[in-house]
Structure 1
Amino acid sequence: MLSLNIQKKLKAYELDIKFEIDEEIAVLFGPSGAGKTTILNCIAGLTNPDSGTIILSEQTLFQSRMKPVAIQKRNIGYLFQDYALFPHMTVRKNIEYGMKEKELVDQLVDVVGIEKLLDRYPREISGGEKQRVALVRALATRPEALLLDEPFSSLDDQTKKECQDELMRLHDVWKIPIIMVTHDYEEAERLGDRILRIDQGKLI
């Protein structure tokens, strides 16, 4: 269970969001600048709300007037829009960075089908392959929640569908809260157990 009740003053408006998600995929949907990525960053600890609470699996990650839990102690996987792979590391080294157990990595690599990529570098693989590698790396830490910031936006239609299918298949096995940001309503309907519409920092 991920519980969120946060407020944060931004340049154009105040972010004021409250929701709870369980073992489901929740999609944050809305126009650019609506506050979707800021919500993900607050959950991950990359930025902090001005007030409110963030609770994951009974651990309070943020609460007003308390020191926030450090990013590395939040046990949250984050898949960035540009995948943020380390260019100087092979795919294998990228995945092993922060992993919890070798058996889990082997299982994920097998499920996603990237065995042949392990000794290549990010510059040597396609966008769809990078997306799969980044997803495996995010899950290799055995997170209690997964955040996805427009993870499929740069992929062609066929690769996008394949990666969406893999995400749903992994979620069926994993059963953790997943929050995904997208501008694509068709994608939101296909993947989301719930669609949370965000505009000007509010749920609508």
Structure 2
Amino acid sequence: MLAIKIKKNLPHFTIDVELKENNNIVILFGPSGSGKTTILNCIAGLDNPDEGLIQLNQKTFYQTNRKSVKIQQRKVGYLFQDFALFPHMTVEKNIQYGMKSQELMNRLVQSVGIEHLLKKYPKQISGGEKQRVALARALATEPDILLLDEPFSSLDQETKKECYAELLRLHEMWDIPIIMVTHDYEEAKKLGNHIIHLKKGKIVNREKLHAG
């Protein structure tokens, strides 16, 4: 269970959101500049709210007037919009960064179909392949929650379809909450159990699309 009730002042508006989610795929949907990525960053510990509460499975990451839990102790997998792969490392080394076990890495590499890429560098592989590598790296830390910041925005339609299927399959296998940012409504409908519509830091609508 992920529980969020936070406020954070930004230059042009205040984020003020409350969420309670089980192991669903939750889409934060809205126009650019509506606070979506800031919410992800607060969950991850890259940023802190001004007040409120963030809990995952009874573990408190953040609470007003208490010291927040460090990023490394949150067990959060984060897939950034630009994938943030290390250019000087091979695919294999990228995935090994922060991983918990070789056995898990082998399983992930096989599950996302990138065995043939392990000795290549990021500049030598396609956008869809980079997305799969970044997803494997995020999962190799054995996270309790996975955060995705517009991970498919730079991919062509055919590659997107493949990645959608892969994400849904991995979610079924891992059974952890996934919080994903997008401003593509068709993408949100394909992937989300719930869609949270945001505008200037406020939730303006909640959609429940699939069981979860």
**Same fold at TM > 0.5:** yes
Instruction: Report the Cα offset of residue 40 of structure 1.
Output: 0.2
- SS of residue in 2 equivalent to 1:110: helix
- SS of residue in 2 equivalent to 1:180: strand
Query: Over residues 1-47 of structure 1, what are the superposed CA-to-partner deviations in whole Å (9 max), with x where a residue is unaligned?
Result: 11100000000011001001111100000011000000000000001
Show the counterpart of 2:4.
Answer: 4
Show the counterpart of 1:200.
Answer: 200
| Contiguous gaps of at least 5 residues in structure 1 | none
Show the counterpart of 2:136.
Answer: 136
Quick one: distance in 2 between partners of 1:177 and 1:101? 22
Show the counterpart of 2:17.
Answer: 17
Query: Over residues 91-134 of structure 1, what are the superposed CA-to-partner deviations in whole Å (9 max), with x where a residue is unaligned?
Result: 00000000011111111110100000000001111110000000
Alignment of 1:20-99 (within 5 A): 20-99=20-99
Alignment of 1:181-196 (within 5 A): 181-196=181-196
Q: TM-score, normalised by structure 2?
A: 0.95
Quick one: distance in 1 between partners of 2:129 and 2:21? 29
- SS of residue in 2 equivalent to 1:153: coil
Quick one: distance in 1 between partners of 2:24 and 2:9? 29
- Residue 181 of structure 2 aligns with an amino acid whose one-letter code is V
- SS of residue in 1 equivalent to 2:18: strand
Q: CA RMSD in A?
A: 0.5
- Residue 157 of structure 2 aligns with an amino acid whose one-letter code is D
Show the counterpart of 2:105.
Answer: 105
Show the counterpart of 1:127.
Answer: 127
Report how many aligned residue pairs link the two structures. Answer: 204
Quick one: distance in 2 between partners of 1:201 and 1:87? 34
- SS of residue in 1 equivalent to 2:87: coil
Quick one: distance in 1 between partners of 2:144 and 2:99? 14
- SS of residue in 1 equivalent to 2:172: helix
Instruction: Report the Cα offset of residue 57 of structure 1.
Output: 1.2
- SS of residue in 1 equivalent to 2:148: strand
Instruction: Report the Cα offset of residue 203 of structure 1.
Output: 0.4
Identity of aligned residues (%): 63
Q: TM-score, normalised by structure 1?
A: 0.99
- Residue 95 of structure 1 aligns with an amino acid whose one-letter code is I
| Contiguous gaps of at least 5 residues in structure 2 | 205-212
Quick one: distance in 1 between partners of 2:46 and 2:31? 22
